[in-house]
Structure 1
Amino acid sequence: MSDAAVLSIRNASKTFGQRKALGGVSLDVRKGEMIALIGPSGSGKSTLLRSISALQTIDKGEGVITAFGGPVQQDGRIDSNVRKTRTRIGMIFQQFNLVGRLSLFSNVALGSLGRIPFWRGLLGLWPAETKQAAMAALHRFGLADYAAQRANTLSGGQQQRGAIARALVQKAKIILADEPVASLDPVSARKVMEILRDLNKSDGLTVLVTLHQVDYALRYCDRVVALKAGKVVYDGPAKALKTEQLIDIYGPEFEDVFWEGAPA
């Protein structure tokens, strides 16, 4: 891992049956970067994020994933001390991953579970610091009025903003966002991307976001990493990514689809 990197992936591979989801991926993520992971469906984007967050193991062998200088996993095994590292990594999912029957406030407060006794969270006995942090996050994202509302009664955009608020309460230093706008309407999607960008620019959080919307990747992210068939085929500035390269990544139909869906 380089001195400036907060996240390092070396030779990470992952096989599902006969399919190679990741094929020796290596990547360094520096503190304060906002990186878009793009590529066609099945290219390995979600698999890479799940491996970084230790939600799944990579294949045995040379693969190593480290975060904040400490091991996450290697040789197909999750490190025994990964819990401490994971408290600094916030994971945001396409389907929000909130507990529907709980209030939005309780869902956001759950972000503090890595720092407080589990029984307190189970009983809803949140410390004052957690209560303050949760309400501050809800207020910041325009959700304070919905704090007492059950999560499953909120719109998709509101739930996703709640999931990001939970990562803020978690005090995450890295946010991994797996297709966070795929289920949202265009207005809600832009709000979520603007929030992630603000957390990156204003709070200095490192953000790694998988996106199907290439126009969002180019608009909100400074660096783009493209995967194709489990391998990195582009890693560089968003502004340097050419249409010809995108056609090579996605196929000849890409240009028509992209320009039809691109915002005015």
Structure 2
Amino acid sequence: MTQDAVLQVRGVSKTFGKRRALDGVSLDVNKGEMVALIGPSGSGKSTLLRSIDGLQTIDGPDGTITAFGTTTQARGKVGDKVRDARIRIGFIAQQFNLVGRLSLFTNVALGSLGRISFLRGVFGLWPDETKQAAMQALHRVGISDYAGQRANTLSGGQQQRGAIARALVQRAKIILADEPVASLDPVSARKVMEILRELNDKDGLTVIVTLHQVDYAMRYCDRVVALKAGKIVYDGPPAGLQKPKLIEIYGPEFEDVFWEGAPQ
């Protein structure tokens, strides 16, 4: 692992039945990078992200995942110290993962559970520090006016911003965002991507985001990693993703949906 690396993936594979979702993937991510994971459906993007967070075990006997210098997975098993690393990793899912019956404020405050007692969280006995952090995070993402509203009454874009606010209260150093804009309208999607970019630029957070929208990857991220059939087939700056490379990644059908104004 290089001096600035906060994440190291080495020779990671994952098989579901007869399908190999990841095939010997190796990847280093440095502190403060904003990395897009792209590729066709089934290429292994989400599996890789879930494996990094320890939500998905990798195949043994080879393959290791290290976060913040701690081995979180090795030899097909999640490490004993994965919880320590996970406290510093915020995971944002496509379907928001907010508790619908709870208020937006409570959902965001739940990000502090790694630092306060479980019982305090269960009964909503939030310390003043947590209350302040939750409201500051909600203000940061532009939805503090909805703090008292039940999460399931909010729009998808508002819920996704709530999930980002929860990661801020968690004090995450890495944000893993798995298709965070896939179910959002274009305006809400751009807002979410702009927030992630701002957190990367101003707070120095490391962001890894899986995207189906290649134009978003090229617009908001400094580095793009493309997977195809479980293997990394491109790792570099967005400028390197010229039309022939994208057709190579996605197949000839990609040319039919190639967006207007894309690099030729």
TM-score (norm 1): 0.98
> For 1:179-207, what per-residue CA distance to the aligned partner results, in whole angstroms no more than 9, with x for missing partners?
00000000000000000000000000000
Match for residue 112 of structure 1? 112
Which deviates more from structure 2 when the two are superposed, residues 79-88 or residues 23-32? Answer: 79-88
Give the drift of 1:260.
Answer: 5.7
Partner of 1:81: 81
The one-letter amino acid paired with 1:240 is G
Distance (Å, rounded) in 2 between the aligned partners of 1:2 and 1:64: 16
- How far is the alpha carbon of 1:242 from its aligned partner? 1.3
| CA distance in 2: counterparts of 1:22 and 1:186, whole angstroms | 30
Q: Which residue of 2 aligns with 1:170?
A: 170
- Superposition RMSD on alpha carbons, in Å? 1.0
Q: Which residue is equivalent to 2:98?
A: 98
Matches of 1:81 and 1:189 in 2, distance apart?
34
**For residues 91 and 124 of structure 1, what CA distance do their matches in structure 2 show?**
22
Q: How far apart, CA to CA, are the structure 2 residues paired with 1:19 and 1:261? A: 36
Residue of structure 1 equivalent to 2:246: 246
Q: Take 2:231 and 2:20, find their aligned partners in 1: how far apart are those partners?
A: 10
What is the match of residue 52 of structure 1? 52
For 2:57 and 2:196, how far apart are their aligned partners in 1?
Answer: 27
Q: Does 1:23 align with 2:6?
A: no
CA distance in 2, matches of 1:83, 1:211: 26
**Aligned residue for 1:70?**
70
In 2: Cα distance, 1:66 partner to 1:171 partner? 19
Deviation at 1:259, TM superposition (A): 1.6
- Whole-Å separation in 1 of the counterparts to 2:248 and 2:240: 15
Match of 1:228 in 2: 228
How far residue 230 of structure 1 moved from its aligned partner, in angstroms, is 0.1
CA contact (8 A) 1:222 1:239 kept: no
Question: CA contact under 8 A between 1:227 and 1:233: conserved in structure 2?
Answer: yes
- Who is 1:207 aligned against? 207
Counterpart Cα distance in 1 of 2:104 and 2:261: 33
Identity, in percent, stands at 77
Pairwise CA distance, 1:258: 2.4
> Which SS does the other structure have where 2:159 is aligned?
helix
What is the CA–CA distance in structure 2 between the aligned matches of 1:229 and 1:260, rounded to whole Å? 27
Following superposition of structure 1 onto structure 2, how do residues 137-156 of structure 1 map, counting pairs within 5 Å? Answer: 137-156=137-156
1:161 matched residue in structure 2: 161
CA distance in 2, matches of 1:149, 1:42: 36
Please give the alpha-carbon distance, in whole angstroms, between the structure 1 residues aligned to 2:194 and 2:81.
34
Do 1:214 and 1:258's aligned partners in 2 also have CA atoms closer than 8 Å? no
5+ residue gaps, structure 2, are: none
Letter in 2 for 1:65: I
Q: Residue by residue, what CA displacement relative to the aligned partner does 1:106-131 show, whole Å, maximum 9, x if unpaired?
A: 00000000111011100000111100
The separation in 2 between residues aligned to 1:48 and 1:245, in whole angstroms, is 22
- For residue 90 of structure 1, give the secondary structure of its aligned residue in structure 2: strand
Amino acid aligned to 1:116: I
Q: Quick one: structure 1 residues 17 and 75, their matched pair in 2 at CA, closer, same or farther if it must change by over 3 Å?
A: same
Paired residues of 1:23 and 1:231 also in contact (CA < 8 A)? yes
Q: 1:22, 1:240 → 2: CA distance?
A: 23
- Amino acid paired to 2:203: D
Deviations 1:83-126 (A, max 9, x none): 11100000000000000000000000000001110111000001
The Cα of 1:256 is off from its aligned counterpart by: 2.3
Cα pair distance change 1:261/1:87, threshold 3 Å: farther
Partner of 2:255: 255
Name the residue aligned to 2:181. 181
How far off its partner does 1:255 sit? 2.1
Q: What is the TM-score normalised by the length of structure 2?
A: 0.98
Distance 2:4 2:61 in 1: 26
Aligned to 1:129: 129
Aligned-pair CA distance for 1:14: 0.1
